[in-house]
Structures are given as C-alpha cells and as structure tokens.
Structure 1
Amino acid sequence: MKMKTYLLAGIPALLSTATPVFAQDAASTGPVADDASADIVVTAQRRPENIRDVPIAVSVLGGSKITAIADGGADILSLAGRVPSLYVESSNGRYAPRLYIRGLGNVDFDFNASQPVSVVLDDVVLENVYLKGFPLFDLDSVEVLKGPQGTLFGRNTPAGVVKMDTRRPGTEAGGQAEFTVGELGTIRGEAGVTIPVTDTFAIRLAGLVNHRENWVDNGYENTTFNRKGHDLGGFDDVAGRIHAQWKPDDRLSVLLTLQARDYRGTGTLNRANVLTTGSNQLNDRYDRDRVYYDGGRNNPQTQHTKSEALHVDYDFGGATLTGIVSAYQAGSSGRGDIDGGVLGTTAGSGTIPFRSETGTLSSDLDQQTYELRLSSDGDGRFGWQLGGFYWHEDFELISATWNGTGGIDPTIISSLNQKSDSWSAFGQVRYDLTDKLRITAGARWTHDKRDLVAERTKGAYFIDTRKVSDEQPSWDVSALYRFSPQVSLFGRIAHGYRGPSIQGRIATSNILTTADSETITSYEAGIKAATPDNRFRLDLTGYIYEIKDPQFTAIGGQGNFNQLINARRGIGRGVELEASANPFKGLQLSGGVSYNFTRISDPDLLVAFCGAACTVRDPIVNVGTTRRAAINGNPFPQAPRWLMNFNASYTYEMKNGSKLYAQTDWVAQSDFNLFLYDATEFHVGTNFEGGARIGWRSPSDSVDVFAFARNITNESNVIGAIDFNNLTAFVNDPRVIGGGVGFRF
C-alpha cells in the first residue's frame, strides 16, 4: 500500500515536469529515434572516440531504443539478445540479473556470487548482482564491450563489460518524459530534466515509476495467504537520480551524483512439472495466469538501494586528472515456493516429493570504490593513461528456510558475512605508427582478497570460514588500420582474469566451496565500415578464446544448493555481425547475429544431475552410492549458440511537419543448456520475442503519442528451471499492449 501511495503521488509530479516550457536540450534523445546518420561515439577506452577508431568489438544501444523496449514495464533482462553475444537471465526476479557475453557468465543464484561480466554505471563498477539490476532510465547509451576488459575496467571482466552512461546536465534547460499504460495494470513513467542554475552550475533530475498489478492466481486455495483475486506477479519500482555539475572554468569539472531505488514485487514464479519427461516443451499443466503454491506467501521481494558518487576532472593542459569516489548501500528480503507446487500429487502441480520454501530475511551491502586516473589530452600520435583503483565490499546475507506451507517463523536461519577487497594499478599507451596504423597496449596488476564466515544459527548449529586471495596481471595489445575514414580493420589479443570465489549456501548443507581464479586469453579480429553518409554500416568480428580453470557453479542436482567447481579448461569461438541501413528517407533497418560456440574440456569433471525424472544425455558415472554426469565436451550453461536481433522503423512526414511512424524489434536465442549437464528437458531450442510501436509526432518532435505491444505474439519462453525434485521451469513476461505519450522540452 505504501508503494502504491508513492506511485500515485509520483505520477502527477513527473507529469508536472512534462510541460514544454524549456528549450530543447541537445543531450536529450527523448522519444525520438536515435540519429542513424550521425557518427557513433563511444567511451570504451575511457575517452570519447569514433567507434571505428576503437580496436575492440563494441555494440551500442541508444537511449531511445532502450526506452521503447521498456514500454511494457521491462527491466534489464530485456537487453538479452539486443546486441550480438549479449544474454541476460535471472531466477531472482527483477533485481538480480546474470549477464553473459560470448557464452561466458555465471548461473549462480546467490547474491554473493561473482560474475565475469562487469556492469559499469557512470564509471562506477556495480559488482554485486543486485546492484546490476538497478533500473534503466534516463540513459544516454549502453555500450557492450566484448572480450576481456581487465586493463581499463579491472577485476571480473574476462567476458566483457556492459557500460551504461546516464544523461548528464547540459548547458541548456530541457529534458524529456514518457508515460505509458498497458494491460495487467502496467504503468510506467520516466522523466529527466536539466536545470542550469547559474552559468557554471547545473543539475539534472531524473526519475522512474514502474508498476504492475498482481495478475497471477494461486490455484491452491488451502493456504492462509491466498487472497481474493490475483495473488502474484505485480511490482512497484521507484527510482530517482540527481546529477549536480559545477564547471567554474574550462579546466575543472565536478559532478556529484545521488541515486536511490525502492522495489517491492513478486519474485520468480517457479512452475512445477510444466515440462514432461523426454520433452523440452511446456505441457498442458502450464497456465501463464495460474500457479499452485502451498508455501512462499506469494513470493514477496523487496530491495532498496542508495548511492553517492563524486567525479572530478581537472585539465592541467596536456593531461587530465580524474578522480572518482563512490559508495553504494543496499538491502533486500524475499521468500519463495521454490519447488513450485503442492506437496504430494495434485492435478494442479503434479508430483512434489518434498517441499522447499527458502528466502532472504535480510541482506546488507556496502560497496566503496576509489579511482585516480591521469590521461593525456588531445588526438596526437601518442596517447597514454595510468591510474590506480581500490574496491571494497562488505556483504551480510541472512537466509532462511520455512516449513513449506508459508509458516511465519523460519525453521532454519543461516548467515553469511563476506568481506572483499581489490587493489590495482593500470596503464595504457597508444601510438600512431603511420597516419593509418595505430598500436595500443595496456596492462593492469590486481590483488584480490575475500573472506567469508558462514554460520547456521537456527537448526543444527554449524559454522565455517573460508579465505581466498590472488594477484594476477591483465593485459591487451591491439592494432587498428584505417583503410579510409569510413573503413577500419582491427586485431586484438587480451588476457584477463576473474578472482577466486567462495560459496556457502549452508541452510540445507554443511558445504562451503571455493573456486580458484580463472584466466582467459582471447584473440579477435574484425572490420568496421560505413558509407560516407553513414546510411549503411557493417561491423564483423571473429574471435576465439581459451580459459584456464574456468569457474562454474553446479546448481541443484538433488538438493537446493550451489557448489563452486573449476574445470581444467574451457574454449569459445564465434562470429558477430551487426549491420544497419537507411535505404531511403524515413526507413531505418538494423540487426545483428552472433554464433557463440563454447565447450568444457575436463575428462574428469562430474556433477550431480536432476533429482526429477529427466533424460540425461551425458555419460553416467557411479561414485560410491551416488550417480554423476560426466560433462566433458558440454557447452557452458545459459550460453545460446545463436543470438539474433532485428529492428525496423519507418517515418512518414506529413505536409504540416508532423510525422507518422511505425517500428518493430525482434530478438531470438537458440540452442542452449540451462545447466552444466545435458538433459533433454533442460535444453532450450529456440526462443523469440517481438515488440511494436506506432505513433504520431508533432512537427517539432516535442510530443509523441503512440500505441505499443511488447511480446506481441505472447510467447511463453522457458528461460530457467529448478531441477532438484521435479521438472519445474519459469518463463518470460507476458504480452502487454498499451499506449503512451512522450515529451521533449
């Protein structure tokens, strides 16, 4: 009720900022499509550069495209497949995403898990998985940097970086806003406004309100928490950001950023036995609008985040000193019916051999980062940058298990306290050997340390500790050859690493596991080309990589817990293609495809497999009284072999200057295993999803009125599963059809 009050109060406040009383803010894209004819400028190497001058594979999503994708209330999971080789999924609802680039990621569902894909928001790394789920709003762009990025972006980036930049205060007053309403009681409002206070000081205020009503019924009526009407599926997500920028002269720039988020909603909806032995297709038991839960108390989740960051640049003339200090504080709680059904054998959820109801009583996260960087100015033949970085995290997680029928008091309580530190020094140089050939090289030295204390305080008492540490170099060497201002060829060799990890899900086991550092060496080459007027663009990249001691998470099997393991070796190879075309005025086409082949190479690696009646296609090995699957040769989990996207828009300008437009976007993922082992039921064939938007824009593009549809064909795509006691799966969001209005002012 509290969040609904915020929602209803927030919408008029956002609408009040939408009156077009300011001049156009040049930095705002608003509801208007990103300019396809302009050069694409990225900051993948910590300096603004034309994308054709960057010797790495980079994909860019503009702010307006992200806003359109989010029309129906979507979150960061909607980025999956939007550019080649990027995949995103979660079994923890809307606030703990897991990201994968070129097939490399981490399926671990615990909040203290490390990932090989880093998320960087306004030059601040978001290490914890539920920081990575901070809502997407008022974004200028998202850059996806593929392959190891350890030199400039540090620890835990062997797969790549998703770099998000929000809109900063400009020199002129202005902004944008968009508001949508749709099916399932979906309401979304996003607004951002720049206010120059003086000639040297400006602020930007931005906010998001994202709401959906409960729309899923609990078909099991014999519970104390079954409500009249719909029980699950809704959420309230409110977030805000303040940028305050002071630029007293051409040398000094000071930016203070404050952010906050408050989220309350339903966690992932596990659906028991919606897969049938021998098939990976949803069966007749699947009903998108209904679940059958005897526990979980409607799977509630809460999460709150706040952060403070100070970014200072000073130009000495010839070199710029940059300092960034940030602090994030966050907490969460939640619980769920993990088995996804009702104990015993029922018509609604099939056979459930034992109940599982677990969750988080509370979590407390404190992250701090400190960075100091000195870099050369200008575009001369020789450029350089060097710096130091420190990251600290203190994370406490109190987990619980309940009796399986929604009891108030937990039956088991356990706590994890994890402290992590990372220090690093880095540098990069570039030199133009000729007017056409540029060489770039960089290196970083990183020291990581992590301590974990795990204690079970209710139930059978248990306590254990683990400590891990390591120090490793990261480096890269690249060459870029400019055939012409519009065509460049690049090659890159990069070496990166992910620090050692600890896992201790001790609510249901006495097992703490660790994983040694993984190291990766990657080779890639590609071509970036465009016509002089940028009407046609094409980027093509091929890559191969090898990982030594890759970290994997063995999930489930016959118990609700995780175990860290190292394989001997992992390999990956693939091709990525992106292209765009504007064949005639008004028509814009773009798309991409990637082929990502991954393979685990370890003849001795065995893992537990599903406790349900699944069809394992791996060799089975007897180990004492247990049976294990030999996974040598399997692909990495949650690593689609194919990722594809397609976008099209057409704009027709009428005589009075107003415009009619239509646009559509589609993504598809094909051929991947949900777990380390290979089972028929947990192998995904092809998923796809599409959206559309039609509308009218005023002559000055200041007003946009539109209708939209997300998941327009209402696909039910399996995106994850629970394997420890039945054939449980969970699916993507349903279709949402609605309308909205946008403003630029």
Structure 2
Amino acid sequence: MKPWMLAGSACLSAVGMPAFAQVAESATSARTDEGEIVVTAQRREEGLEDVPIAITVLSGDTIESFRFQDATQIVQQIPNMSATNTLGASAPLFSVRGMSNADFNPSSNTPVPIYADDILINNVTGQGFALFDLQRVEALKGPQGTLFGYNSSAGAIQFISRRPTSTLEGSGSASFAGHGERTLNLAVGGPIAGDSVRGRLAFFGRRDDGDFVNINDGERIGKDNRWSVRGLLDIDLASNASVLLKAQYGKYDGAPSIRPTEQAVNNFTGEILGNKREIRQELGQYENVEYGELSSRANIDLGPVGLDLITGYLDIKSGLSTNFFDGTQIGLLDLGYGAGPVQTALYGVQGGTAHSKQFSQEVRITSQTDGPLSFIIGAYYLKEKLDGSIWFYAGDDSGAFGYFGTDPAAFLTYSIYKQNLSSAALFSQWDYKFNDKLKLTIGGRVSWDKRSLDLSFANYDGATTFVNPAAIDPLHPKFSDVTDLSGLERSQQKRDWTNWSGRLALDYQPSPDTLLYASLSRGVKSGAFNTAALVDISEANSIGPETVLAYETGVKLTLADRRIQTNFAAFYYDVDNYHQKVVDQFAREFLSSADKVEFYGFELEATARPIDIMTAKLGAGWQKGKYKRFIEPTGTGPIDRSGNIVPGTGSWTVNGLVKLDLPIGTKALISPQADFNYVQGNYYWTGNGVKAPQLTPDSKTDDFFNLNLRLTLQDADERYGITFFVQNVLDQFRVVRRNPVSFLDNTLSGYSPPRTFGVSINGRF
C-alpha cells in the first residue's frame, strides 16, 4: 500500500466533532429503572435483550469512565470490531467482523457507516471525531439498510448525544496526564422558554504534545490539539410535534507520529538512530481539520404512525502532509564530518487536501399501534460535493543524490479532482408477531447511486519537470508549482448503480429472559472512484458495488434474577467484489475487487452484577476472512491470492472490566476499576507472510494486551469526584499497524500509546 493513497483522508476527523442529537423521541436514559438497557437500533425504543441484532451499547457514563476521547477508542470494548488510524489521528479505518475499507481517500465510502444522531458522516475523513457529552453509542454488526440511512455491507455505528432536559443541569471535568495532555469538558442545559423550549451547550477541548521525541531538537512529535462546541435546541411546536436543532463547529491541529519500524542507522558505526519512542525528523508534518454541522430532526405524532424528518448539512475541510523520508535510511547521509549523521534536505512528501459539502434528507414513517404487525417505511437522499487534491513531491537541496543531478532539484506530481455523489433510496421493514413468542421480520431496500469524477493529473516527464525546491514549500505545494504542464492529463467519468438490500429474520422467545434468532441479510457497499493518481492517469479507475450475503444466528440470555446478561452470535458472510487496493508491475495503484471472499466467526458478551457493589464485563470475538477467488495485480505480475487470509482478520479480540463501588460511611464512595483489551496480531497485506525481509521481519502486527487501572473517589450522590488513572499499565510497545513502503526499504508503523499516569476531576449539578 503506498502512503500517498492515504493522504487526503488522514486529516479530518480528529476534530472534536459531530454534535449528536438524541435519536429517541424523548430524552430517554440508556437504562431503565430496572436496569434494562434501552436502544433505538430498530428506530423504536426496545430493550437491548429484545433486539434480534448483534449490538453493543456503551453509555455516556461508561465512555467517560474509560476516558474514551475519540471515536476509534470505543472498539476497545467491542468484540470483533477495530479501528485503525492511517497516517495520523484522523480518518480511522473501522472494521466489523473483518470487513473493512481498503481505500482511505476522501472519495471512498466505508462498509461501516458512521452516524451522529441519525446524520450520516459519509466522508471517511470526518469519522475520527472526539467523544463528549454523549447519551450512548450503539454499534450494530451485520448489513444494515432496511431501517434507516445509507447502504451498509458490514455494520453501522450510531453516536447519540445527551438531549436538552426540562430541568437545569450541568457538568464539567478536567484531566491532566503525561506528555502534556490536558482535557476540558463542559456542558449545561435546561429550560429556555417555559416547558416548550429547552437547550443544551457543550464544549470539548484537548491538548496533547505527543508520544514521540524528535532527537534533532528534543521537541515532542504527534501533537493532538482540538476543540469543539455544540448547541442543541429542543422545541415543542405543538402537543404532537417537536423539532431538535443542532449546530456544531470544531477544529483540529495535529501532527502524525507514524515511525519507521526499521529506523535508520549510522552507516559507519551501525548505531540505530533513536530509541523506541524517538525519531529523527527534519522537515516536520501536519494534519488539520475544520468541521461544521447544521441539522434538524422533526417528529410528528399522527396517532397510528409517527413521522420523522431528519435533515443535515456538513462542511468538512482537511489537509495533511507528511515526509516519508524523515527518520529513514534514505533520509540520512553521514558525510563523515563528526561522529553523527547529518540530515540532508531530502524530501519525499505525500499530502492532500479535501473539502466536502454534504446534504442529507431522511423521511421515516413508523407504526405506533399495539397490533401484531409493525412497520417502518422510509426514504433517504444524500448529496456530496467533494473538491480534493493529492501530491507527491521528491527532491533534495544538496545535490548528493546522483539521479537528481548535481544541482538542487525536485519533481512534483499533483492531482486535483472534483467528485459529485448522489444517492436516493426507499426502504421498509415489517415485523409480524405470530404470538407472544414468535416473530418474523422482512425488510427491503432499493437504492440509486450516481458518481461523477473530473480529475486533472500533472506528472513529471523526464528532467523537464524538475523544479527548484527553494521556490516550493515542500509541505504545502500548489498545483501551479508544476512548471511544465505539457504532460497534463484529464479524466472525466460518470457511473451509476441500482442496488438492493434485504433482511429476513425469525426470533423466538421461549421465556421473557431468553431470545433466539436467525437471520439472512443482503448488504451493499456502493461503487467508487480511485482519486490517488500519482504515477499514471489510468490509476483514476472505478469499481462496482460490493455485496454481502450474511447468515447469522444468536442467543440472548438474562439470568440470575437479571444479574447476568449474556449475548452470543455466530456468522458467515459470502462476499462478492470485495473492494481492494492493488499495485501492478508498473507501480500503479488501482481500486480492484476480489471476486469471492468469505468471513466467519463468533462473539460473546457478558455482564454480571454478582453483588450490588460489583460490576464485571467480558467480551470475546474471533473472526477470519479468506479469499475464495482473487487474482491480484502485483509488481511482478498477476498472483493468485485465493486461499490467503484477508488482512486484518484471523484473530481474537478480548475485553473485560471489573469495578467495585465501595461506600465510605454514608457520604462518600470509592470505586477501583480494572479494565483490559487484547488484540491478536494479524496479517497486514494480501500475500500474508513477510512481504520483503528489508521491509519488515514480521508478517503480522503485534499482539497487544492493554491493561488500565482507575481509582475514583466521589460523594455519595456522585456529584463531585476525583479519579487517578494509569493507562497501558504494562507499558507495552507494540506495532498495531504496518504500512510497508517499498521505495523506502522500510515499513511505516503505528504503535501502542505509552504508559500514562493522570488525574481527572469532575462535578455536576
């Protein structure tokens, strides 16, 4: 996988972003008085144990107790789900049961749609947002599309924010941790005009200096500075009608901390240049995101049915630039003067920008009668205009490298593009209860997707396009910096697809505490364009939709007087045209499809309260993907990958928690907590095995066991408290993602965060 394929997307979402309006029609707690968790995964309020879908729910309080601060961290407590950042903190790659997105460019679309209060965040560069003031998160596994929103072939994640209340309330917290981390959360809400208008305002801010140190100047690398503000206004228009308005704005300013797995060495002494959390970086790099959102959700009670109108507008801007030669052998030249190496002004910069403007409209009609038949009928429309750029810039100021000649020189390849996307869909799901125990579900969806691409590509052509690097900002080059446009090429394409999805399920409740279910679903991921053209204009290709036929069965049990809840699910997926990124013998990178792929596995989740003061949770999942038929173009020609394991699969995920709430007299409470998550290493490329000895000695990412400890002291009413915490107690330094880059003879890798000590204080009224 070439690094520049990731550039445009690895920017946006580390913003403390989407403000999430409540999905439910009232500000319902995620848990009833009896302890039952209430969800809206099927667009109506139901107990979690009554929903025949594999779903994990994390409440807002749980998210705060784990100190989850961005969207990627929730997967630590969700079996068979992962989220891998690309070149920085933004644009995560979400994976559900092994199915994931191979293309990180802003023009792509994911098999795991991300929703913020029913508003789709379509652009992948907007999906790594900060978490704050949330009611809960619902993570659904398996194809979705018959109930709401956009097409989904693997699953969906819904982030739901706390809704304005009819009484005045507020909260605040501040935390301080290692590496200069400071975080501030503030929220206040309540009535504005009598009982009919309620509002809520929330703020999030975070500053982190980074986990790595630049041994050139001693400064920290990997900064994460972000802030976001969100406002909600809940208005009762009439006794049977209400509207929830939302506005949010946020910014993120960061720097990727990807480090070469095999660091550069001193050619004369063999000394490795830097320790495990050090890197030699001369040029620097950056990523930034700006996010704006306006949305509304109107609800009208029409008696037998309810009508929901959901409208959203998103404006997302991003930029990223990173120097892939920094910290590698090719970026260092020991000139023999002195004991240490000298950093040359050698550039190998990959970067990109993106500006997405998205509008979406959804209409849903939901039955509200008590009969055996219930239904949802809806329509969905999405339109996105995307302007983007992507570049690769290489050169040096020293003249030390012969292929650049004796004078300072550089070359630049640059693509600019416009993509227009529109999608329309009709969907419906019907449930029929034969009796109190047996229910049949039938759902369907038809969607019409259109995409158009206008891409201009300026490539170097011999020495005539070498430019003077002194005249170019290597981290912020412009299309106009390409001085020779004689080789300018243009690609204009249009594609459209008609797709269908469906769901057939049967669930049986032999008792109120037991649910058995089986389902057959068909999911679709829309086709896409490749906008990462950096070698040849032919790279700007397109692929058709990805489809999955999903078989699933599961059981949900409530035991021991509701003190134990256990959910188990097993699945098998038959996938056609599984989207991939491939590189041919001319180093050109394309979107491609594996003709046939299968995924299978299972997951188990259990929650127990054996005694009133103790809560224990355990989750475990295993999944594996295998290519049944896949001929991959490679640098040495086509290779049959059939029978190989799909990257990112064939591994276990395990998570757990033990928490005690110990009263101190009648006025205070002390709560020790230990939680962990384990991720087994997996293959990182389609060939499995070691890609090349000079790139990496390992064929997989590392196993990672992450243990965290927390101790909270608070008053008996849980209004004020202080928490001391240690994250990654064992200080494990593990490779959690690998990106082999052939032209560097190296592997750019992402690592587990270091052991971190910290303290947080919180209060609410």
TM class by shorter chain equals 0.7 to 0.9
One of 715, 727, 730 as aligned partner of 2:746: 727
Distance 1:28 1:42, change over 3 A: closer
Which amino acid letter does the alignment assign opposite residue 40 of structure 1? I
Q: Secondary structure at the match of 1:585?
A: coil
Residues of 2 paired with 1:137 and 1:536: CA distance?
29
Q: Given residue 375 of structure 1, which amino acid in structure 2 is its aligned partner?
A: T
> C-alpha distance in 1, partners of 2:314/2:655?
34
Aligned runs of 1:591-630 on 2, under 5 Å?
A: 591-602=618-629, 605-608=631-634, 626-627=636-637, 629-630=639-640
1:269: how far off? 1.8
Shift of 1:28: 7.9
Paired position in structure 2 for 1:332: 318
What SS is found at the alignment partner of 1:576?
A: strand
Q: Percent identity?
A: 23
Q: CA deviation at 1:139?
A: 1.1
1:265 pairs with 249, 254, 260, which one? 254
Shift in alpha-carbon separation, 1:344–1:654, aligned structure 2, 3 A: closer
| 8 Å contact kept, 2:107–2:531 | no
**CA shift digits 1:223-282 (9 cap, x unpaired):** xxxxx4415211211011111000144411100010111000112423252599xxxxxx
**Secondary structure in 1 aligned to 2:536?**
coil
Q: 1:218 to 1:630 in 2, by over 3 A?
A: farther
How far apart in 1 are the matches of 2:646 and 2:449? 25
Conservation of the 8 A alpha-carbon contact between 1:37 and 1:535: no
User: What amino acid sits opposite 1:98 in the alignment?
Assistant: L
Q: What CA distance in whole angstroms lies between the structure 1 residues aligned with 2:175 and 2:415?
A: 42
Q: Distance in 2 between matches of 1:260 and 1:640?
A: 40
Q: Which residue of 2 aligns with 1:491?
A: 518
Which residue number corresponds to residue 7 of structure 1? none
Instruction: Determine the structure 2 residue equivalent to 1:193.
Output: 188
Correspondence 1:323-362 to 2 at 5 A: 323-342=309-328, 343=330, 356-360=348-352, 362=353
Cα shift at 1:379: 4.3
Q: For residue 67 of structure 1, give the secondary structure of its aligned residue in structure 2.
A: helix
1:521-536 to 2 correspondences below 5 Å = 521-531=549-559, 533-536=561-564
| Structure 1 SS opposite 2:147 | helix
Alpha-carbon distance in structure 2 between the residues aligned to 1:526 and 1:393: 37
Secondary structure of the structure 2 residue equivalent to 1:65: helix
Post-superposition shift, 1:289? 3.0
**Where does residue 554 of structure 1 map in the other structure?**
582
1:280 aligned residue: none
Task: Say which SS state the counterpart of residue 64 (structure 1) adopts.
Answer: helix
Counterpart amino acid of 2:280?
A: Y
**Matches of 2:275 and 2:508 in 1, distance apart?**
55
- Alignment equivalent of 1:307, drawn from 293, 301, 309: 293
CA distance in structure 1 between the partners assigned to 2:542 and 2:715 by the alignment? 59
Question: Structure 2: any 5+ residue segments left out of the alignment?
Answer: 1-15, 17-25, 266-270, 335-339, 398-407, 459-481, 691-697
Partner of 2:229: 240
Q: 1:717 aligns with which of 723, 734, 744?
A: 734
Q: Decide whether aligned partners of structure 1 residues 693 and 557 sit closer, same or farther in structure 2, where only a CA change above 3 A counts.
A: farther
| Structure 2 counterpart of 1:322, one-letter code | D
Matched, 1:501 2:528: yes
- The equivalent position to 1:676 in structure 2, one of 664, 683, 686, is 686
Runs of 4+ off more than 4 Å: 25-29, 34-37, 283-286, 344-352, 404-410, 555-559
The residue identity in structure 2 corresponding to 1:78 is Q
Aligned pair in 2 of structure 1 residues 631, 113: CA closer, same or farther (>3 Å)? same
In structure 2, how many angstroms separate the alpha carbons of the residues matched to 1:234 and 1:718?
19
Alignment correspondent of 1:448: 449
Cα gap change, 1:344 to 1:135, in 2 (>3 Å):
closer
Corresponding residue number in structure 2 for 1:473: 500
The superposition leaves residues 535-557 of structure 1 with CA deviations (integer Å, 9 ceiling, x where unpaired) of 11100111111011111123699
Among candidates 205, 208, 214, match of residue 212 of structure 1: 208
Report the Cα distance in structure 2 between the residues aligned to 1:286 and 1:229, rounded to whole angstroms: 11
Output the CA distance in 1 between the equivalents of 2:571 and 2:317. 39
Deviation at 1:215, TM superposition (A): 5.3
Residues 274 and 104 of structure 1: CA distance in aligned 2, closer, same or farther (over 3 Å): farther
1:53 corresponds in structure 2 to: 50
Matched, 1:743 2:734: no
Determine which of 624, 633, 652 is the counterpart of 1:642. Answer: 652
- The match for 1:655 is 665
Matching of residues 691-710 of structure 1 within 5 Å = 691-710=708-727
> Which residue of 17, 36, 39 maps to 2:36?
39
Question: Which string of whole-angstrom CA distances, capped at 9 and with x for unpartnered residues, describes residues 471-513 of structure 1?
Answer: 1111101111112111111111111111111102123333122
CA distance in 1, matches of 2:549, 2:341: 46
Shift in alpha-carbon separation, 1:530–1:720, aligned structure 2, 3 A: same
Q: What secondary structure does 1:66 align onto?
A: helix
The alignment partner of 2:131 has SS state of: coil
Aligned CA distance change for structure 1 residues 214 and 495 (closer, same or farther; 3 Å): closer
1:635-661 CA-to-partner distances (Å, cap 9, x unmatched) read 222235211111111111111231011
TM-score of the aligned structures, taking structure 2 as reference length = 0.84
Aligned to 2:355: 364
Q: Secondary structure at 2:417's aligned position in 1?
A: strand
Contact kept, 8 Å, 2:286 with 2:320, in 1: the verdict is: yes
Aligned equivalents of 1:195, 1:408: Cα separation in 2:
62
Q: Does the 8 Å contact 2:105/2:531 carry over to 1?
A: no
1:513 equivalent to 2:513? Answer no
Q: Which amino acid is the alignment partner of residue 48 of structure 2?
A: I
Q: What's the secondary structure of 2:77's corresponding residue?
A: coil
| Deviation digits for residues 519-543 of structure 1 (CA, Å, limit 9, x no counterpart) | 1111111111113642111001111
| Distance change in 2, residues 1:275/1:517 (3 Å) | farther
Please give the secondary structure, in 1, of the residue aligned with 2:42: coil
Aligned-partner SS, 1:402 = strand
Partners of 2:653 and 2:33 lie apart in 1 by: 23
Shift of 1:426: 0.8
Contact 2:702 2:736 in 1 (8 A): no
The CA deviation string for residues 91-129 of structure 1, in whole angstroms up to 9 with x for no partner, is 131221110101000132322222101111101111111
AA in 1 matched with 2:740 = D
Q: Classify 1:214/1:55 alpha carbon distance in 2 versus 1 (closer, same or farther; 3 Å).
A: closer
Partner of 1:576: 603
In the alignment, which of 94, 114, 130 is matched to residue 99 of structure 1? 94
Q: State how far apart, in whole Å, the 2-side matches of 1:285 and 1:581 are.
A: 49
Paired residues in the alignment total 682
TM-score by length of 1: 0.86
Distance in 2, matches of 1:704 and 1:154, equals: 39
Moved more, 258-267 or 208-217: 208-217
Q: Given that residues 475 and 496 in structure 1 are in contact (C-alpha distance below 8 angstroms), is that contact kept between their aligned partners in structure 2?
A: yes
Give the Cα separation in 2 of the matches to 1:106 and 1:384. 32
Write the deviation string for residues 265-317 of structure 1: whole angstroms up to 9, x where unpaired. Answer: 112423252599xxxxxx976734311234xx321111000000010000011
Q: Give the direction of change, closer, same or farther, for the CA distance of 1:648–1:350 in structure 2 (3 Å limit).
A: farther
Distance 1:293 1:466, change over 3 A: farther
Give a deviation string over 1:575-597, Cα, whole Å, max 9, x none. 11000111112111101111112
* 2:305 corresponds to 1:319: yes
User: For the structure 1 residues 27 and 350, does the alpha-carbon distance in structure 2 shift closer, same or farther, using more than 3 Å as the test?
Assistant: farther
Question: Match of 1:701, SS?
Answer: coil
Does the 8 Å contact 1:211/1:237 carry over to 2? Answer: yes
Per-residue Cα deviation, 1:314-363 (whole angstroms, up to 9, x for no partner): 001111111011000010112101245342666999999x9631112x32
In 1, the alpha carbon distance for the partners of 2:754 and 2:733 equals 7
Q: CA shift at 1:574, angstroms? A: 0.8
The letter for the 2-side match of 1:144 is A
Partner-residue secondary structure (3-state), 1:150: coil
Unaligned runs of 5+ in 1: 1-9, 11-24, 222-227, 277-282, 610-625
**Which residue identity does 1:292 align to in structure 2?**
R
Q: Find the partner of 2:388 among 393, 397, 404.
A: 397
